């Protein structure tokens, strides 16, 4: 079944029907979901969802746009959450230079601390990198991120950058953007990246695929992403689902199938 490696079901846009939607996912082909913390409260909420649903796991971290809320005390809380049995990664964390704030130095400080947290706890890391290719890569190299392992979520750079991350043995989160007509660079990168390094993700509620663009996204739309990857790779949709699930289970060390 489909392994959804990146969703934010704690987002308030799901408040009206979260329970109904999540309860229906497994019978609609979504076998496993990782709910990703983007803030401290989002990380706490991710853990609560993971406690509530056997097929949901949690990642805890603070998105570069949200790091203004972090201080030494709240960071300790993040560290504590990593010990929870259903927390399987640190993230999302990284650098986002799309907006001028928060300033770059501050983003780097908390990215470094979260990379070190992943290393210390032995968890893989979920990277968010937007318009910050060089700095992200430089920091990851400096901190020997290849030994930490993880995934570059919503990979949006080209083939050259893909090669750099492959050298660190990282995985690539591919989502709805692959269905956009103007995603030429990403399509080239996906053709280049070995199938064994690709994970499926939506980033729900964001980044709905082309046929639902602008709408609230959910894991149910992963079928469009599967189709696009299958076409690029010249393999069947079943093969895409099977291999990406194996990849996710390998990376996040989830060997046992959920109930
Ligand atoms: Ni996200």
Query: DSSP of 145-178, one letter per residue?
Result: GGGT-EEETT--S-HHHHHHHHHTT-EEEE-GGG
Distance 37 CA to ligand 1 centre (A): 8
Q: Please report the pLDDT score of residue 183 as a whole number.
A: 95
Distance 63 CA to ligand 1 centre (A): 8
Measured CA to CA, the distance from residue 48 to residue 186 in angstroms comes to 34
Distance 151 CA to ligand 1 centre (A): 12
Distance 20 CA to ligand 1 centre (A): 22
- Give the Cβ contact number of residue 129 at 10 Å: 28
Q: Please report the pLDDT score of residue 257 as a whole number.
A: 57
Distance 192 CA to ligand 1 centre (A): 24
Distance 233 CA to ligand 1 centre (A): 25
Distance 91 CA to ligand 1 centre (A): 9
Distance 205 CA to ligand 1 centre (A): 9
Q: Please report the pLDDT score of residue 256 as a whole number.
A: 59
Distance 180 CA to ligand 1 centre (A): 18
Q: Which residues of the chain have pLDDT under 70?
A: 256-259
Q: Please report the pLDDT score of residue 26 as a whole number.
A: 98
């Amino acid at each position: 079944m489909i392994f959804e490696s990146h969703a934010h079901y704690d987002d308030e846009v799901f408040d009206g029907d979260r329970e109904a939607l999540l309860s229906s996912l497994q019978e609609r082909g979504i076998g496993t979901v990782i709910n990703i913390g983007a803030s401290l409260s989002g990380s706490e909420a991710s853990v609560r969802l993971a406690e509530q649903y056997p097929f949901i796991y949690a990642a805890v971290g603070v998105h570069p746009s949200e790091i203004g809320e972090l201080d030494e005390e709240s960071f300790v809380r993040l560290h504590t959450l990593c010990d929870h049995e259903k927390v399987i990664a640190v993230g999302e964390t990284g650098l986002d230079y799309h907006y001028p704030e928060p300033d770059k130095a501050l983003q780097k400080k908390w990215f470094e601390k979260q990379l070190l947290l992943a290393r210390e706890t032995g968890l893989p890391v979920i990277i968010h990198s937007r318009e910050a290719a060089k700095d992200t890569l430089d920091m990851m190299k400096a901190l020997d991120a290849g030994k930490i392992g993880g995934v570059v979520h919503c990979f949006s750079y080209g083939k050259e950058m893909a090669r750099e991350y492959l050298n660190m043995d990282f995985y690539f989160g591919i989502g709805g953007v692959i269905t956009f007509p103007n995603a030429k660079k990403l399509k080239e990168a996906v053709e280049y990246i070995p199938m064994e390094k690709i994970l499926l993700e939506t980033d729900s509620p964001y980044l709905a695929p082309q046929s639902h663009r602008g709408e609230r996204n959910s894991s149910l739309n992963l079928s469009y992403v599967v189709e696009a990857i299958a076409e690029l790779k010249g393999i069947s949709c079943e093969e895409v689902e099977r291999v990406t699930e194996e990849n996710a289970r390998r990376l996040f060390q989830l060997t046992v199938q959920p109930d």
